[in-house]
Amino acid sequence: MNNVRLSIVFIFSLLIFFSCKNENEKSEIIISNKKQIEVHSKKLNDWFENQFQEEVDDSPMMQTYLGIKTEDYGKWDDISSKKEVQDLEKAKKQLRYLKDSVNVSKLDKATLLSFRLMKMDLENTIEDFQYRFYNYPVNQMHGMQAEIPAFLINMHRIENKSDAEAYVSRLEGVNELFSQLVGNIKIREKNGIVPPKFVFAKVLNDSRNLITGKPFDQSNNESTLLSDFKSKVEKLELPDDEKKVLVSKAETALQEAVKPGYDKLIEILEDQQQRATVDDGAWKFPKGNTFYNNALKRTTTTGISAEEIHQLGLDEVARIHKEMKDIMTELKYEGTLQDFFKFMKEDERFYYNNDEEGKAAYLKRAVGLIDNMKSRMDELFITKPKADIVVKAVEPFREKSAGKAFYQRGTPDGSRPGTYYANLYDMEAMPKYQMEALAYHEGIPGHHMQISIAQELKDVPKFRKFGGYTAYVEGWGLYNEFLPKEIGLYNNPYSDFGRLAMELWRACRLVVDTGIHAKKWTREEGIKYYTDNTPNAESDAIKMVERHIVMPGQATAYKIGMNKILELREASRSKLGNELFDIREFHEVILTNGAVPLTVLEDLVNEWIELKSNSSKIEESS
């Protein structure tokens, strides 16, 4: 009997021993796996940082955008076609590394997402190399004729004598930079890519404006760049004679480098203008339809076809028109929707005066709208941006051709705030009833919030902090025109009409962009669609259609992105129920991963829904 008891004790001891051993081994395996994941993830994140740093080191202009001053502060980027080939080879090498040297099973969740995004971006870059000439390097929306002076004015800070000398060095480099630009323009013409006729007058006007005034002529006015340089140098604590030397060097560089550079650009544009046609759509390019479908795919980060986008636009226009008619009923307005549009376009109460006093009043109210929204942020968001935002009017030298409004990101260290630019060139295109929607889109809680939070994220590779997907970025901006309505803003029906007018504008973009590039609409047909279906000024319609023409597909991103965010929000609310769904947590998921493709955004939201659901079930069972 005692032997039996001893045997049982012995067996139990063995079981306990092996059980403990197995548990220890399991613990060691878990610890080992965790360590491997930490090591592999760190290695890949270090690689991401090295690749990003190489990009920064290779781009003096990116360094300045990021607020970094190096020995390259006085240089421009290499924009030659040879550089594009070098960049392609670099992308291929990076993709080989990701495919051959990274064990994805050993990555943590955040790093796996970074891997997925980088791999996707590289694959797209390589595939899209065939379309590298399918753009207009100089156009009324983007182009060095305006972007170079804007860069010097807004980005190149002068805080000491060395910075001023770097500014002069950049002026001296404009001639060579524009030689590369002219070369790029010529290459595109050989490949059948020439801007439509309307582009040339606008770009030539911008170019000539930049070489007008002192020291280019004997007028009493200083040129844009000389005025900027002198005002910045004047603020330095330097002896007057040193300031005079710097200004003299700048004047020489403007005459000997900037003017020859712009003269070359003007010459090629005047020459091309004679051969330009009124064919506007991408269909005119070699393999233009294939290119446009690819452009839509990249812009929307979805597989939606041109025909589907066109129909979605028509449907959205019809829905928004109905909501506008509801506001007309609320206001007891008698007449048709077109009558109401005409009333909103023409009634003076909806516009500031087109003078300095009126423009100052517009900017003051825009600041007030953003400040008020700042005070309501806790109702909607957990994470808020640390960076500040300022409101500015678009500078005179580019206001005639620039867009209605836009946002310029600040520096990560906060030394340069984000900027909401309002184009006050034509005050009839900037009605009071659209001010709220514009401020919320470009400022807070729109672009400034999303972009600043992305830049301020911790433990996220820099390529994600500073990258962007148009459908996500602009979808967020448009979504945030609507969001403030849910916390009681837009309490004036005219402002709510303005919000709808802005959304309607983006819905029309789906129709007109696909109309021009897939259905061969003319510029005039596009303009008519806008003026027939929106309350906006004709000048708005002209600018928008001309934007569609030079940026195929880009304008479809806004409504596609907004609709996806709303779709994901409603799906979250439906699956979680009102008790579990938290709008602040939903926005946290949207904002704290940086910009991502819409397909990836959907995955992230679904993961959050599953996590919330599982946590709730565990709490209930306990």
Task: Compute the CA torsion angle 20, 22, 25, 31 (nearest 10 deg).
Answer: -80
pLDDT at 31: 67
In this prediction, residue 199 has a pLDDT band, given cuts at 50, 70 and 90, of: very high
Average pLDDT over residues 409-438: 91
Q: Is the pLDDT of residue 203 over 80?
A: yes
- The DSSP 8-state label assigned to residue 391 in this structure reads E
Is the separation of the CB atoms in 560 and 302 below 8 Å? yes
Considering only CA atoms, which of 228, 237, 195 is closest in space to residue 210?
A: 228
pLDDT at 586: 98
Residues 6+ apart with CB under 8 A from 504: 316, 317, 320, 321, 324, 533, 534
User: Which amino acid, one-letter code, is at 154?
Assistant: N
Spatial distance between the Cα atoms of 483 and 485, rounded to a whole number of angstroms: 5
- The kind and range of the H/E element at 419 are strand 418-422
pLDDT at 333: 96
pLDDT at 488: 94
Residues 6+ apart with CB under 8 A from 491: none
Q: What is the pLDDT of residues 77-115, one digit of tens each?
A: 999 999 999 999 999 999 999 999 999 999 999 999 999
Q: Torsions phi, psi of 185, nearest 5?
A: -65, -40
Spatial distance between the Cα atoms of 469 and 557, rounded to a whole number of angstroms: 9
Spatial distance between the Cα atoms of 2 and 486, rounded to a whole number of angstroms: 79
Q: Is the pLDDT of residue 9 over 90?
A: no
In this prediction, residue 42 has a pLDDT band, given cuts at 50, 70 and 90, of: very high
Strands 405-408 and 389-393: unpaired
Residues 6+ apart with CB under 8 A from 33: none
In this prediction, residue 21 has a pLDDT band, given cuts at 50, 70 and 90, of: low
Q: Is the dihedral of CA 412, 414, 418, 419 positive or negative?
A: negative
Q: What is the pLDDT of residues 28-37, one digit of tens each?
A: 656 667 888 9
The alpha helices in 58-160, defined as continuous H runs, are 60-65, 81-101, 109-128, 144-154
Considering only CA atoms, which of 331, 366, 361, 494 is closest in space to residue 438?
A: 366
Q: Exposed (0-12), middle (13-18) or buried (19+): which is 428, by Cβ within 10 Å?
A: middle
Q: Is the pLDDT of residue 620 over 70?
A: no
Q: What is the pLDDT of residues 216-236, one digit of tens each?
A: 998 889 999 999 999 999 999
pLDDT at 403: 77
Spatial distance between the Cα atoms of 30 and 375, rounded to a whole number of angstroms: 47
Q: Which residue has the higher pLDDT, 471 or 414?
A: 471
Integer angstrom CA distances of residue 331 from 50, 328, 349, 422, 432: 59, 5, 16, 29, 17
Six token digits for residue 427: 């005050």
Q: Is the pLDDT of residue 15 over 90?
A: no
pLDDT at 397: 78
Spatial distance between the Cα atoms of 456 and 414, rounded to a whole number of angstroms: 10
Helix (H, G, I), strand (E, B) or coil at 275: coil
Is the separation of the CB atoms in 33 and 91 below 8 Å? no
pLDDT at 487: 95
Integer angstrom CA distances of residue 396 from 109, 194, 228, 424, 427: 48, 28, 13, 9, 14
Q: What does the mean pLDDT of the chain come to?
A: 93
Which of 49-58, 236-245, 392-401 has the lowest average pLDDT? 392-401
Q: What is the pLDDT of residues 383-403, one digit of tens each?
A: 999 999 999 999 887 887 777
In this prediction, residue 411 has a pLDDT band, given cuts at 50, 70 and 90, of: confident
- CA 301-304-305 angle, to 5 degrees, is 130
Spatial distance between the Cα atoms of 162 and 403, rounded to a whole number of angstroms: 34
User: Which amino acid, one-letter code, is at 223?
Assistant: S
Average pLDDT over residues 447-451: 96
Average pLDDT over residues 569-589: 96
Average pLDDT over residues 409-422: 88
pLDDT at 404: 84
pLDDT at 207: 95
Instruction: Write a three-state SS string for 392-411.
Output: EECCHHHHCCCCCEEEECCC
Is the separation of the CB atoms in 424 and 393 below 8 Å? yes
- The DSSP 8-state label assigned to residue 261 in this structure reads H
Q: What is the pLDDT of residues 146-193, one digit of tens each?
A: 999 999 999 999 999 999 999 999 999 999 999 999 999 999 999 999
Return the number of other C-beta atoms located less than 10 Å from residue 438's C-beta: 22
Spatial distance between the Cα atoms of 58 and 436, rounded to a whole number of angstroms: 40
Six token digits for residue 411: 């520096």
Q: What is the pLDDT of residues 512-546, one digit of tens each?
A: 999 999 999 999 999 999 999 998 888 889 989 99
State the residue for tokens 């609709």.
563
In the chain, what percentage of residues exceed pLDDT 70? 94
Average pLDDT over residues 240-263: 98
